[in-house]
Chain A
Amino acid sequence: MLLEVRAASVSYKMVRALHRITMEVPAGGIVTIIGANGAGKTTALRAISGLVPLAEGEIVFEGERISGLAPERIAALGIGHVPEGRRVFPDLTVEENLSTGAFLRRDASAVRSDFEAVYSRFPRLAERRRQYARTLSGGEQQMLAIGRALMLRPRMLLLDEPSMGLAPVIVEEIARIIRDISGTGVPVLLVEQNAEMALELADYAYVLETGSVALSGVADELHGDDHVRRAYLGA
């Protein structure tokens, strides 16, 4: 397994946000975490990236324990994180935002070719490369946030609610992009409230309910599961 979360718990003040969750991400494909608002999906990704400390348990990436490391150290191991709400740097240009994504890279010529790769993947970013990120639309900001994470040349990509607040056409485009990225060999851990989209994209899925893993399984099978259909697919 590429990433293993082992019986990990997270508490905010006195409230337990995650309770002994265990999940695995293999070295290829898309794994998704679905669940209602406040189920702990975002917290799970934040724990992997080191933004929140674990109260118990551990997280292991490529056989190495990463829980307890600072976020910048975890990024240096190759975990790219596209945070909830995109979090692009508003007063940096598109190009500067992408540059910060390449902050840890020392291979200048490969970085240059990655710039071109991101621009050809997202032509709308290429058109706006000198614009401040705050002037972009929601969909464009999402693309920029994904592009920024790709500039790290991640060994694994964490995506937090990439469809949030976007028009259906744009959501479709984002879904295509996620499939593309996975196709280039980058494993993806996708957190989504849009369970329909997530289960369609993913190979494997975890269902979080009030901080615990309620259910997990092959995405196609969960798509047919009665409980999942009633609770998350509105069927």
Chain B
Amino acid sequence: MTELLLQTIVNATYAASYLALVAVGLVLIFGVMGIINFAHGEFYMLGAYCVVALYADLELPFLLSVAAGLVFVGLVGIATERTLFRPMRDNPLGGLVVSIGLLLILQSLATLGFGVRMEHIPPPSQAVLTLREGVGIPVQRLNVIFAAVLLLGALWLFLHRTRWGFALRASAQDPEAAALQGISMGQASRIAVGIGAALAGVAGALTAPLVRTFPYMGHSVIIAAFIVIIVGGVGSLEGAVLAAVVYAFVHTFVTTFVDGVIADIVGLLLMLAVLIVRPTGLFGSRDRG
């Protein structure tokens, strides 16, 4: 029993890691642009397909493929901001429409390029680190946890220690006052969407060998990410990370000890409960703008 409990904690930590990467990007984009990116799951999917194309098909090193996924999806994010999101800034309905359109386009492109069947990706490492008798973690999953801690730490340092980090936070809190300080909203938006997309892309790339990789894989992760940002408080990065941990633990534990479908229901109930008890989310203190 203790083994199962510990093993579930390990599994939940892994789930929290990639979920946090996806959710934080969603929060960043919403904070600066006022747009909820429904295509965020597809950014995740694109990252996974970078690994399919470069690592599985071209047999390039896995780490290089993951880095390429981060850069490529980041660039897709920058292009998306310039062409689709910028005209819709602070227009939630317009942002909804263009991001759903983008979602369909990206899914279709992935289907055109790779087909709808699930991709087989040979695992880069089969090694399992044994923590104690009966409790182990595949090195591949451990890498996801390390990468998430590293990237989220780097993001925190960027936001709290650098000039553009301050600018991004200021823009999210009061875009007009930020513009009066000489901060370009266009530039702030570009950085926010670029980073947000890159984080989703790297999450997809890292988990590609561990999950089912197919053009519609974004669905499951975007629903979880939406629950996470609502529970954490829309607009709060710290809240998103904490809520990712809470959600992943609840979901993984219920899946392990009860059932996967029940776990999805419990996840939604968790969101409902938070909305009833604390409508601004655990960390949300204010509405945006």
Contacts and interface: CB of A to CB of B under 8 A. Distances in A.
Interface of B is mostly: helix
Contact of B182 (A89, A91, A99, A103): A103
A158 to B, nearest CB: 9
A92 interface: yes
A89 B177 contact: yes
Contacts of A76: 182
Given A70-B184, A72-B184, A103-B163, A91 B169 contact: yes
Interface in A84-104: 87-92, 96, 99-101, 103-104
B173 A75 contact: no
Interface in A151-169: 152
Given A103-B182, A103-B183, A83 B177 contact: yes
A70 B169 CA distance: 20
A148 B173 CA distance: 15
A138 interface: no
B180 A75 contact: yes
B182 A104 contact: yes
B176 A100 contact: no
A51 interface: yes
Interface string B159-192: 0000100110110011011111111110000000
B167 A89 contact: no
Contacts of B182: 72, 75-76, 103-104, 152
Q: How large is the interface on B (under 10, 10 to 19, 20 to 34, 35 or more residues)?
A: 10 to 19
Contacts of A99: 163, 166
Contacts of B179: 51, 70-72, 75
Given A96-B166, A99-B166, A49 B183 contact: no
Nearest to B188: A72
A91 B239 CA distance: 14
Given A83-B177, A90-B173, A92-B166, A100 B183 contact: yes
Contacts of A89: 169-170, 173-174, 177-178
Interface in B117-163: 163
Interface string A67-85: 0001110011000010100
A153 B23 CA distance: 39
Given A76-B182, A100-B183, A152-B181, A91 B173 contact: yes
B286 interface: yes
A71 B181 CA distance: 9
Contacts of A75: 179-182
Contacts of B166: 92, 96, 99-100, 103
A100 B286 contact: no
A112 B174 CA distance: 25
Nearest to A77: B182
Contacts of A49: 180
Contacts of A51: 176, 179-180
A51 B176 CA distance: 8
A90 B286 contact: yes
Interface string B217-252: 000000000000000000000000000000000000
Contacts of A72: 179, 182-185
Contacts of A87: 174, 176-177, 180
A110 B7 CA distance: 55
A89 B166 CA distance: 10
A88 B178 CA distance: 9
A100 B179 CA distance: 10
Interface of A: 49, 51, 70-72, 75-76, 81, 83, 87-92, 96, 99-101, 103-104, 148, 152
16 contacts: A51-B176, A51-B179, A70-B179, A71-B179, A72-B182, A81-B180, A90-B173, A91-B285, A92-B173, A99-B163, A100-B167, A100-B181, A101-B181, A103-B166, A103-B167, A103-B183
Interface of B: 163, 166-167, 169-170, 173-174, 176-185, 285-286
Give 5 closest A-B pairs by Cβ, nearest first: A75-B182, A71-B179, A104-B182, A87-B177, A89-B173
Given A70-B179, A96-B169, A103-B167, 5 more contacts: A83-B177, A87-B180, A91-B169, A100-B166, A104-B181
